[in-house]
Amino acid sequence: MAVAEHPPPAGHGEAGEADPLAALQGFLTPTDYDALTKCVHCGLCLNVCPTYRQNGLEADSPRGRLYLMRAVAEGDLDFSAAVDDHLQLCLQCRACETACPSNVHFGQVMEGARATILEEESTRLRRVLTWAVFGQLFAYPTRLVLLGVLLRFYQRSGVQALVRWIMGREWVPPRLRLMEQMLPQLSRRFFRAPPGEIVPAQGERRYRVGMIGGCIMPLAFAETNEATVRVLTANGCEVVIPEAQRCCGALQAHAGAQEEARRVARLNVDAFEQWNLDAIIINAAGCGAALKEYDRLLADDPAYAERAERFAEKVEDVSEFLARVGLTAPLGTIERTITYDDPCHLVHGQKVSLQPRALLSMIPGLEYVELRDADRCCGSAGIYNILQPDMSMRVLDDKTEAIIESGAETIVTANPGCLIQINAGLRQAGQTASAQHIVDLLDEAIRAGRREQAAA
Ligand code: SF4
Ligand code: SF4
């Protein structure tokens, strides 16, 4: 398929042209089609696109993908396996949105196209798997906990050690070995909502905030969730963790399972709106970007549109919130060389990049080095590293190289997928440096501050 053979189609509603909307085959909604037609084909997004940088193919660039979607929507191109491959290879990192002077909401258009592909064009197996994983597993916390218990047994019973021993043999393809290493180490104790769903502020209460626990975070990063509660309460926040909350729906939306995403979004709106909160805090960048878009996700639902808008307005990443309200807990010294890697859905999806750096600059003793291409994807992208392992690993190799070049001992970031991916890349490269969530570092600094106060 030669995308370049398709000239840019006529603009939507231009004088003398047939209205292209009339030719739309249901591939894109009119809203997504309008978003797509803002592209002026300037190409400024090409060099920030990880897949274009790897392949050098127009069809694997943001502009090329927009051409493809438009051509299919206007009936100039039949949807095919080749078109599907180019669209599925997109990481949905949204770096192209940051680079775009025309404000094309690429992530929204791609999500819409994937929803149509899932419903109309995919195999029955793909539909069933998507329904099973996103509709029947991720949407139900108790089922996830059950899976977590099984995985924890696999990791702690010695079975994983045996598998890893086998994976260490020369004949095992390195990519397969790396994929096994992607399985995060599950926490000894999973994170749960406290009895009564409220953790009081330490000292005078400044704010009442809700906290989204996430789906992977409570199982694999329970300590980080606990650290988030400690950092918030130490800074005068009463933290509400409603038990009825569900996963945010980001993975569902990215896979095209829009109805599943809407279902969990409604449940989250129901779970949080009764608490009269100043903010709703999230410590996972991918989830934060999705939660802030509940207004768009539920815009056509008369019962939820306004409530979703109110919910979305309150959502803040934990670093965004702490930088806005200011830290009141004293921070102690940590002697370490660190760098910061921007999670795509924080820097591109939420435009949050200065706040985490500002918080890190407040910790005494840290030597901060800026990471080359810090805002470039690490290749994790939700479950992309499982679905597209080859491209994911090629993107990760670039990230690992930049980290090694920085000389940092700790790579601070703010998303579970990035933590898993970066640590896997560093292990594979034989490095001792490791990735750490920003709230874990803040929590460490608060504890150091208390020790210093006690010793003074
Ligand atoms: S979302 Fe990321 S991978 Fe997809 S087209 Fe944009 S820059 Fe490329
Ligand atoms: S930067 Fe924006 S307008 Fe330019 S080609 Fe990319 S998507 Fe289109």
State the fold for domain 195-324: Rossmann fold (3.40.50)
Q: Is the CB of 68 under 6 A from ligand 1?
A: no
Please tell me the predicted confidence (pLDDT) of residue 354: 97
| Domain locations along the chain | 14-122, 126-181, 195-324, 330-455
Q: Is the CB of 35 under 6 A from ligand 2?
A: no
Please tell me the predicted confidence (pLDDT) of residue 14: 42
* Ligand closest to the CA atom of residue 63: 2
Residue 186 · residue 219 · CB < 8 Å: yes
Please tell me the predicted confidence (pLDDT) of residue 29: 86
Instruction: Report the separation in Å between the CA atom of 430 and the middle of ligand 1, taken as the mean of its atom positions.
Output: 29
Q: Output the CA–CA distances (angstroms, integers) from residue 136 to 224, 256, 298, 337, 381, in the order listed.
A: 26, 15, 21, 43, 21
Tokens 């805002």 sit on residue: 375
Count of residues making up the chain: 456
Q: What is the mean pLDDT of each run of 10 residues along the chain (456 residues)?
A: 37 42 66 91 96 96 96 90 93 96 94 84 73 79 88 88 84 73 84 88 96 91 96 97 92 82 95 96 95 95 96 98 97 97 96 97 97 95 82 94 97 94 91 97 97 89
Mutation probe of ligand 2 site: the residue of 68, 100, 108 with most atoms within 8 A of C-beta = 100
| Nearest protein Cα to ligand 2, atom 2 | 100
Token pair listed for 400: 């690992």
Please tell me the predicted confidence (pLDDT) of residue 452: 93
| Position 399, amino acid | K
pTM: predicted TM-score of the whole model, two decimal places: 0.87
Q: Is the CB of 44 under 6 A from ligand 2?
A: yes
Q: Which CATH number fits domain 14-122: 1.10.10.10, 1.10.1060.10, 2.40.50.140, 2.40.10.500?
A: 1.10.1060.10
State the fold for domain 330-455: Rossmann fold (3.40.50)
Same CATH topology for 14-122 and 195-324: the answer is no
Q: What is the dihedral of CA 246, 216, 340, 349, to 10 degrees?
A: -40
Angle CA 133–343–106, to nearest 5: 75
d(CA 414, CA 378) in angstroms, rounded, equals 13
Q: Which atom of ligand 2 is nearest to the CA of 43?
A: 5
